[in-house]
Every structure is written in C-alpha cells, then in structure tokens.
Amino acid sequence: MVSGQIKPIRKVHKTGKESDTLIGLFFIFPFIALWFIWFFLPFMQSFIRSFQDANFISLEDAKFIGLTNYINILKDPEFHSALLHSVIIVAVSVPAITILSLLIALAVNQNIMAKGLFRTIYVVPYITSPIAAATVFMVLFRKDNLMAKAMSVFGFPNTTWFSDVNLALFFVIILFVWWQVGFFVIIYLAGLQDVPKELYEAATVDGAGTFRRFLNITVPSLKPVTFFVVTVVTIYAFQIYDQVAAISRYGVLGQPAGRTTTIITYFIQHGIRYMEIGYGCAAVVIFTLIILAVTFIQKILIGKED
C-alpha cells in the first residue's frame, strides 16, 4: 500500500489593495444602510404615492390617477410663485455665502491675534436655533428698531421688513446668509490649510502680488471646496423652512401675502396641512428633480479638480 503524499496547505494572502477595499466597504456600509432606509425607501414610496389620489385620513382608499398631480402642480400659479421665490433665494444667497465665507476665511487664516476666538465667533450663528435667530432678527428689523434704521441709510424704507410684501423675502435671505456663513468659513479654512505654502513662496519670488497669488493659486486650489460649498448651499437654500415658519408665526405659510412661499413650504402646506399626500409627494418628486438638475449644472460650470 503506497501512502499518498500530503500536500501542504497554501495560505491565501490578500493584497494591500483588496484589504483597503474591504476596510473601506466596512466603514461606508452603515452610511449606505441608513441612506437606503431613510432616503431611498421613503423616496420610492413618495414616488409611488405621487401617482395616486391619496389622503392621510384614508390611505387605504388611494386610487391611481396617473400624471394628474404633476399636471395640476405645474399649472398652479402658487407653485410658480414658490418656485420663483426659491430661485431668488438661491440666486442671491449662494454667491453671497460663497464669497463672504471665502473672504472671512482668508482674513481669519492670517497671522492675527485671537485667531481661535474669531473662528468660534463666526461659527456661533450656525449652531444657533434658526427659530431663535429669526425671532431676534424680527425684533431688530421692526420699524424704528436698530437694523431697520441702519438699512434706511442705504435707501431702504424704515419699516417692519418681515411684514412688508416687498422686503419679506430679502429679510429671509439676510437671515439665511447670516446663519450659514460661519459653517462654510470653517470649510474654506480647512481648504486653505491644504494649499502648499511653497506655491505662495515661489509666486512671491516671481514677483506676484497678493491679488495675483489669490487669483492664480488660491482660487484654483480651492476649486473642489468651492464646488462643495456651492452645491451644499444650493440644497440648503432650496430647503429653507424654519425662517419662513417663524415669519408666518406658524399660520398660513408664506406670509405676508405669499411673498415668502418656497417649494418646501408649498409641499408642507399641501402635503401635510391639507393632508393631500399624493399631491404633496408629487411636489417632493419635482423638488428632487430640480435639486438634481441644479447640482448637475453646477458640476458642469464649476467642475471638479482632476
């Protein structure tokens, strides 16, 4: 009887690349799971509901009506006004927040005394309750109060801004910009820390001034950061709600006279307060498509660094 030879067991070693991939998947799995549970599934439910005539009180009686909800929304003058107001908020607040946060970050990034204190001061508004901040601003922008008088110097009327049909939307924009700038100052500060100092030193040796260094080194180096800031601010601006609710005093959203109605308040008013869940879900789908389209356009215009 010839005894067979026992072959040694070969150990399989994972390459460094495979190991990194597994570790990466392990860390992002919780995020993917939460995204699937808290965003994807609810959105798919909303998408299905958007083709139904459904009411919160009797969801079991919902019936399929095709594109009727979408057609009614696109024909609704109130939706047109809400979309216009949202676009105005985005068009004004996105450049304002981007430019202000970059300039403040550049200033705070210099070798100045109490640098940490200034960084803390600028981020305080972001961690402040939007409702509390709106309440304080409503006092400041009341007729004959501090900010109302100060703005009259620049040609604005001395009036209560949040109850004026011509100024209420700009009051919301001012409040939103004040609330958001501090957070994006921190984002830009982080980006400035990653710009190699050698580039500035070399440019200085070549005779480039402060503005040339900013234009040719700082701006291109911060391109990915700027893309992130513009995208996130755009999404936040489209999602404004707390400030509008504070002005409306939790009555009919969009006061005064519908001049602060946005896409979000339009959805909440119809989908939740009026309990027209199918109609509200159609508004959510349209809102999501608008966000995706705007983000795609921004990516084309701003782009990402290769």
Q: What is the pLDDT of residue 74?
A: 92
What is the CB neighbour count within 10 angstroms for residue 108?
20
Q: What is the CA radius of gyration of the chain?
A: 26
Contact 217, 164 (CB under 8 A): no
Q: Which H, E and C letters describe 275-300, residue by residue?
A: CCHHHHHHHHHHHHHHHHHHHHHHHH
The pLDDT value given to residue 250: 63
Q: Give the chain's mean pLDDT.
A: 85
Say yes or no to pLDDT of 305 above 50: no
CA distance 143 to 174: 17
Span 280-305, average pLDDT: 82
- What is this structure's pTM? 0.83
Per-residue confidence (pLDDT) for residue 60, from 0 to 100: 79
Residue ranges of domains in the chain, CATH in brackets: 76-302 (1.10.3720.10)
Asked if residues 304 and 223 have their Cβ atoms less than 8 Å apart, the reply is: yes
pLDDT band at 1 (very low <50, low <70, confident <90, very high): very low
Q: Percent of the chain beyond pLDDT 70? A: 91
* Integer Cα distance of 83 and 73 in angstroms: 11
Mean pLDDT of 213-237: 89
Mean pLDDT of 201-228: 86
pLDDT tens digits for range 157-166:
999 999 899 9
Determine the pLDDT at residue 5. Answer: 56
- The 10s digit of each residue's pLDDT in 45-101 is 889 999 998 887 777 788 899 999 999 999 999 999 999 999 999 999 999 999 999
Over residues 259-278, the pLDDT tens digits come to: 899 989 998 888 888 888 89
pLDDT for residue 124: 85
What is the rounded end-to-end Cα distance, in angstroms, of the chain? 68
| Residue 135: closest CA among 101, 171, 100 | 171
